[in-house]
């Protein structure tokens, strides 16, 4: 007979409880003596089905997964609070818009749209920006994106859009990307998408971090005041840290280096107490403006330029706590656009109306029943009273005898507490009494027919660097499309937007001639003015706050220079990571060992907003054939980053092919403190864009 021995912890006794509170139990509360060995008939005999401990453990494991969201599957949630700075009783009676200084708890989930739960963070994609406000009048969900327009005008097209964007059904790829035939086929046959196409081909879809993105409610909503008067509103989130994106080649490399780049960034920032903040802005306008405006305010493929209706800042969102449990919070949170509070109302935007149906429906499937509002992350933080009852997993069940209305309990007879809640016409939610007329029709309003004017406005509002990135993105994506007719059709659309852009993409694709314009439903307005608010680079932060400097050190590096760089970056509100050939770190010129945060191949320059290389000449010679070291320098150059260096690094910079190409984006910091401060100040521009026009060897 085989000898019996304890396999559970290598004999180190880690598995023994320290007190009674430590004792492991089954889900039914039975204390467990051993959950590492299945009950068997003899030490080498068959396993017994009677083992309730093993069977419960495996049963629960088998059911751990819930369906991932059909879109926005990959997301990252964080807690925070919203604080109103300016009351707006003239527009809305919502308490959240009237109680200045009150901290309303929030939960925000950022997401990509197309990829599955395990897809990389830096896919070229729209980012979801959904916030649940736990107000005293119930939950308000502002389920927005980081782009203020959408692909389609009517919710009925959503399944087609998403089918086309997701992996092709026969082969199951490509994952988390739009660079394929189905997507561009659908888009090129849906001219209403053209404004959105300009946005997604811009660097907005490759944000550096969730912390550096704007957010938008997208649709026109209504605000309704105490008197029942309504104004239209568009919601904006403005990041306090400013906007920032990466470049495409960098995004590709980041995805390989760290598929969790964005969620890690958020976790690290919050963990370090560096809480990201966004201002909530509103664009408020009335029916008269809606009548005069060049486009239909119910058309979600259009913006209202900020220069036309300024964004008024009314409050601030602060994200200050990471989740305790990813599944319970980030996975189980259920946003519904229909969750609005008295004082906020919907408009007739056909995309919004369709969403109001879809979100509730999808939660039923995903969370398994109608009681998902009982889950702590979804439960309102104000009193909840109604006669809804039972259902799967009912957890907050009312007491008492009455579960219907009208009822007369408590009106003189019967128990008062049995009476239950009553609807309240005074304070309860009332829909804005918008007049509705017209025949039942299945048509798209003619007021939605202009597909190109704002696409052009977006394009001409960008800096030349951003315009080049857009042309490159379109060329890249369409180069992945196998069918030439789709490439041609897309260029045919671009001709309505900007002939120069169309030509650049046609050249990039090697099209023999410029395709004819696709017939337009309505001729575009060609003289819409530029809107500087649409450019990322025109709205840069001019500061290194919240950004990360990567300092690559090796043996003999000047300790004073490393310290000066660290001090300067931290003084500017930035973070610093030390990268070295070994994770243990390197001995610097002062003879002391400096610990590293990353080994060089785990800390490539794409992980940082700016980099520095500080090592002795001997080290630079030692690592000048080391591929990760060469890539560190070469990529920083190629991605237009600011680079601090000491002259001793020449041997490495030479093999990296940058020594003879050093421009004003390179700063010699060997003289110490002042040079380091000067470097960090330069880094406020985030990238040295002039370099992009220079061709390297």
Six token digits for residue 88? 């707006």
The answer to the question of residue 132 lying near ligand HDE (CB under 6 A) is no
Query: With CB under 6 A as the contact rule, which of the stretches 183-191, 225-233, 350-358, 598-606 interacts with ligand HDE?
Result: 350-358
Q: Distance between CA atoms of 308 and 305, rounded to whole angstroms?
A: 5
Give the C-alpha distances (Å, rounded to integers) separating 676 from 578, 637, 642, 653: 16, 19, 12, 19
Determine contact, residues 647/670, Cβ cutoff 8 Å. yes
Residue 145 bears catalytic tag: yes
Q: Which of residues 124, 253, 263, 355 is near ligand HDE by CB under 6 A?
A: 355
Q: Distance between CA atoms of 642 and 540, rounded to whole angstroms?
A: 15
Report 157-186 residues binding ligand HDE (CB under 6 A).
158
Report 598-637 residues binding ligand HDE (CB under 6 A).
none
Report 200-239 residues binding ligand HDE (CB under 6 A).
218
If you count them, how many residues does the chain have?
697
The answer to the question of residue 196 lying near ligand HDE (CB under 6 A) is no
Determine contact, residues 589/558, Cβ cutoff 8 Å. yes
Task: Supply angle C-alpha 390, 394, 396, rounded to 5.
Answer: 105
At residue 581, the 3 state secondary structure works out as coil
Determine contact, residues 207/244, Cβ cutoff 8 Å. yes
Please state the closest distance from residue 431 (CB atom) to ligand HDE, in A: 20
Residue 72 bears catalytic tag: yes
At residue 636, the 3 state secondary structure works out as helix
The answer to the question of residue 262 lying near ligand HDE (CB under 6 A) is no
Q: Which of residues 358, 407, 463, 503 is near ligand HDE by CB under 6 A?
A: 358
Comparing C-alpha atoms, which of 256, 74, 183 is closest to residue 474? 183
Comparing C-alpha atoms, which of 28, 24, 49 is closest to residue 39? 49
On the CB side of 552, CA atoms within 13 Å amount to 33
Q: Distance between CA atoms of 560 and 564, rounded to whole angstroms?
A: 6
Q: Distance between CA atoms of 511 and 399, rounded to whole angstroms?
A: 72
The answer to the question of residue 197 lying near ligand HDE (CB under 6 A) is no
Nearer to ligand HDE, 223 or 600 (CB): 223
Place of tokens 């010129």: 589
The answer to the question of residue 193 lying near ligand HDE (CB under 6 A) is no
Report 274-303 residues binding ligand HDE (CB under 6 A).
300
- Residue count, binding to ligand HDE (CB under 6 A): 25
State the catalytic residue, choosing from 14, 63, 79, 145. Answer: 145
Q: Distance between CA atoms of 650 and 445, rounded to whole angstroms?
A: 64
Report 326-345 residues binding ligand HDE (CB under 6 A).
333, 335
The answer to the question of residue 537 lying near ligand HDE (CB under 6 A) is no
User: Which residues, other chains included, contact 87 with Cβ-Cβ below 8 Å and sequence gap of 6+?
Assistant: 97, 98, 99, 100
Q: Which of residues 130, 164, 246, 303 is near ligand HDE by CB under 6 A?
A: 130
Q: Distance between CA atoms of 457 and 295, rounded to whole angstroms?
A: 13
The answer to the question of residue 70 lying near ligand HDE (CB under 6 A) is yes
Query: With CB under 6 A as the contact rule, which of the stretches 139-147, 270-278, 532-540, 596-604 interacts with ligand HDE?
Result: 139-147
Q: Distance between CA atoms of 207 and 198, rounded to whole angstroms?
A: 15
Q: Which of residues 128, 524, 546, 604 is near ligand HDE by CB under 6 A?
A: 128
Place of tokens 């009553």: 422
Q: Which residue is nearest to ligand HDE (CB)?
A: 128
Q: Distance between CA atoms of 193 and 440, rounded to whole angstroms?
A: 26
Give me the 75-114 binding string for ligand HDE, x by CB under 6 A, dash otherwise: x---------------------------------x-x---
Please state the closest distance from residue 198 (CB atom) to ligand HDE, in A: 16
Nearer to ligand HDE, 333 or 569 (CB): 333
Residues flagged as binding site for heme: 69, 109, 158, 355, 359, 366
Query: With CB under 6 A as the contact rule, which of the stretches 167-175, 348-356, 441-449, 501-509 interacts with ligand HDE?
Result: 348-356
Nearer to ligand HDE, 165 or 481 (CB): 165
Nearer to ligand HDE, 146 or 230 (CB): 146
- Residues labelled as active-site residues: 72, 145
Residues that bind ligand HDE (CB under 6 A): 69-72, 75, 109, 111, 128, 130, 143-145, 150, 155, 158, 218, 300, 333, 335, 351, 354-355, 358-359, 362
């Amino acid at each position: 007979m085989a000898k019996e021995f304890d396999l559970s912890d290598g004999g180190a006794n880690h598995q023994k409880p320290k007190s009674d509170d430590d004792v492991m139990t089954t889900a039914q509360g039975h204390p467990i003596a051993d959950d590492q060995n299945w009950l068997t008939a003899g030490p080498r005999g068959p396993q017994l089905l009677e083992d309730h401990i093993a069977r419960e453990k495996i049963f629960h494991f088998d059911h751990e997964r819930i369906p991932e969201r059909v879109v926005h599957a990959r997301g990252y949630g964080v807690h925070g609070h919203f604080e109103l700075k300016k009351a707006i009783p003239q527009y809305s009676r919502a308490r959240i818009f009237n109680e200045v200084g009150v901290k309303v708890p929030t939960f925000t989930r950022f997401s990509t749209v197309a990829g599955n739960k395990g897809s990389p963070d830096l896919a070229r994609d729209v980012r979801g920006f959904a916030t649940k406000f736990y107000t005293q009048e119930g939950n308000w969900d502002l389920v927005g994106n980081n782009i203020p327009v959408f692909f389609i005008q009517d919710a009925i097209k959503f399944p087609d859009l998403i089918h086309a964007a997701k992996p092709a059904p026969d082969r199951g790829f490509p994952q988390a990307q739009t660079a394929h035939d189905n997507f561009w086929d659908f888009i090129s046959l849906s001219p209403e998408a053209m404004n959105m196409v300009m946005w997604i081909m811009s660097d907005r879809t490759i944000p550096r971090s969730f912390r550096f993105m704007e957010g938008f409610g997208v649709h026109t909503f209504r605000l309704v005041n105490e008197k029942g008067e309504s104004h239209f509103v568009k919601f904006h989130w403005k990041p306090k840290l400013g906007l920032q994106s990466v470049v495409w080649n960098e995004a590709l490399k980041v995805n390989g280096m760290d598929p969790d780049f964005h969620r890690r960034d958020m976790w690290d920032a919050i963990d370090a107490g560096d809480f990201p903040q966004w201002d909530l802005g509103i664009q408020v306008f009335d029916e008269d403006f809606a009548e005069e405006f060049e486009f239909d305010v119910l058309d979600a493929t259009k913006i209202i330029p900020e220069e036309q209706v300024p964004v008024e800042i009314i409050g601030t969102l602060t994200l200050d706590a990471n989740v305790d449990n990813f599944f319970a919070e980030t996975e189980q949170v259920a946003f519904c656009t229909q969750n609005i509070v008295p004082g906020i109302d919907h408009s007739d935007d056909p995309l919004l109306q369709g969403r109001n149906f879809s979100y509730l429906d999808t939660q039923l499937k995903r969370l398994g029943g109608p009681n998902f509002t009982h889950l702590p992350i979804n439960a309102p933080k104000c009193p909840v009273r109604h006669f809804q009852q039972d259902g799967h997993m009912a957890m907050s069940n009312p007491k008492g005898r009455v579960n219907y209305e009208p009822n007369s309990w408590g009106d003189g007879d019967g128990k008062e507490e049995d009476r239950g809640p009553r609807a309240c016409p005074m304070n309860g939610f009332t829909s804005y009494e918008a007049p509705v007329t017209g025949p039942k029709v299945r048509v798209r309003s003619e007021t939605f027919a202009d597909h190109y004017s704002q696409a052009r406005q977006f394009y001409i509002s960008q800096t030349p660097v951003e315009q080049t990135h857009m042309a490159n993105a379109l060329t890249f994506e369409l180069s992945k499309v196998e069918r030439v007719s789709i490439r041609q059709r897309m260029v045919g659309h671009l001709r309505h937007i900007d002939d120069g852009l169309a030509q650049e993409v046609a050249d990039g694709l090697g099209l023999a001639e410029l395709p004819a314009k696709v017939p337009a439903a309505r001729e575009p307005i060609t003289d819409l003015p530029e809107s500087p608010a649409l450019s990322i680079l025109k709205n840069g932060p001019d500061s290194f706050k919240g950004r990360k400097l990567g300092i690559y050190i090796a043996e003999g590096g000047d300790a004073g220079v490393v310290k000066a760089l660290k001090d300067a970056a931290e003084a500017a509100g930035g973070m610093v990571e030390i990268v070295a050939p070994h994770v243990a770190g390197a001995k610097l010129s002062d003879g002391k060992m400096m610990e590293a945060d990353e080994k060089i191949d785990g800390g490539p320059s794409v992980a940082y907003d700016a980099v520095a290389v500080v090592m002795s000449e001997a080290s630079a010679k030692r690592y000048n054939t080391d591929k990760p070291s060469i890539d560190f320098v070469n990529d920083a150059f190629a991605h237009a980053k600011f680079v601090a260096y000491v002259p001793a690094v020449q041997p490495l910079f030479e093999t990296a092919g940058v020594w003879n190409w050093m421009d004003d984006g390179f700063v010699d910091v060997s003289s110490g403190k002042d040079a380091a401060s000067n470097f960090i100040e330069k880094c406020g521009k985030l990238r040295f864009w002039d370099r992009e026009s220079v061709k390297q060897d």
